[in-house]
A and B are shown apart, each in its own frame.
Chain A
Amino acid sequence: MTAYTATVEVRLKHGVLDPEAETTGRALERLDFELEGLRAADLFEVDLDDESAEAAHERATEMAERLLANPTIHDYEVTVEER
């Protein structure tokens, strides 16, 4: 078994309104920053032991599918590194 950290990044699908990101962007503009846009995402780091990086990736992907993301509104990306 090898120790891995799977990183799951969950973000709203393109085109889905993100009022929190818009509010954050407006707050930055109030602080006199110039910006063209702002997107927010959630990042989960899952420590797990598995036979291979592929197996760890598969497990983390299932975690994203079943809980960490809501496939109706989210896209997600899974990356795996040895820990």
Chain B
Amino acid sequence: MTVSVIQFGGSNCDRDTVQALAHLDIDAELVWHEDGLPADTSGVVIPGGFSYGDYLRAGAMAARSPIMDDVRDAAESGTPVLGICNGAQIGCESSLTPGAFTTNESARFQCERVNLRVENADTPWTDHFEDGDVVEFPIAHGEGRYEVDDDRLEQLEADDRVLFRYCDADGEVTPEANPNGSKHSVAGVLGERDSVAVLMPHPERVALPDIGHTDGQGVLRAFGE
């Protein structure tokens, strides 16, 4: 039983993710996308970085690559699937999760620490937190602005499928605390099952004590349950 961390050409948070999972005693291995998902895959991470040069739209090409058929099958059978950053873009492009992540309001690449409010602590990704907890993760993206039509967003909110929102240090969701112009400050959402999730901020970058922050461990622990 091993978590598969998928490597596309240009993935660059793959090793960080394996290291973070190993720190939590969760067995994980890198899987080259052309090799397909191993049969004993117990979880899937689509990591951050870039894929196929992010041609057309970030994540668009990777979302149509053959390994994503395996990932969809795994997701449908209840295997936990987490998309981080470019992996989140791939998740939305492949319809594993609703909406789209597109160009930041600033039109710039942004690399900074942000505060996130836990919107639904009753999921595998957040059950180490409480509703309303504020966690600090880094972001590093140029295309992280969450877009979805108003009706769909209303439905997602009604169904408690928003996982995290950008907020200030006190947990207030304000325009100033929204780093990229995401609609309703959405930073992460669930797929149709709560075992599938995507988020733009990087939990794997705040999972090792040496880094100084370990808030990200809570998200990654989903793979150990």
Contacts and interface: CB of A to CB of B under 8 A. Distances in A.
A65 B92 CA distance: 15
A10 to B, nearest CB: 9
A19 B29 CA distance: 38
B51 to A, nearest CB: 14
A70 B60 contact: yes
Given A67-B56, A68-B56, A19 B148 contact: no
Given A16-B147, A17-B181, A67-B60, A72 B105 contact: no
B180 to A, nearest CB: 10
A22 B105 CA distance: 10
B102 A73 contact: yes
Nearest to A68: B56
Contacts of A23: 107
A23 B149 CA distance: 24
Contacts of A18: 103
Contact of A72 (B99, B145, B181): B99
A20 B147 contact: no
A22 B92 contact: no
A72 B156 CA distance: 14
A20 B98 CA distance: 23
A73 B103 contact: no
Interface string B16-36: 000000000000000000000
B64 A19 contact: no
A16 B181 CA distance: 11
Interface of B: 56-57, 60, 64, 92-93, 98-100, 102-107, 145, 147-149, 181
Given A20-B103, A72-B148, 19 more contacts: A19-B103, A19-B104, A19-B105, A19-B106, A19-B107, A19-B181, A20-B107, A66-B64, A67-B56, A67-B60, A67-B64, A70-B57, A70-B60, A70-B93, A70-B100, A72-B98, A72-B99, A73-B102, A73-B147
26 contacts: A16-B102, A17-B105, A17-B181, A18-B103, A19-B104, A19-B107, A19-B181, A20-B103, A20-B107, A22-B107, A23-B107, A66-B64, A67-B60, A67-B64, A70-B93, A70-B100, A72-B92, A72-B98, A72-B99, A72-B100, A72-B147, A72-B148, A72-B149, A73-B100, A73-B102, A73-B147
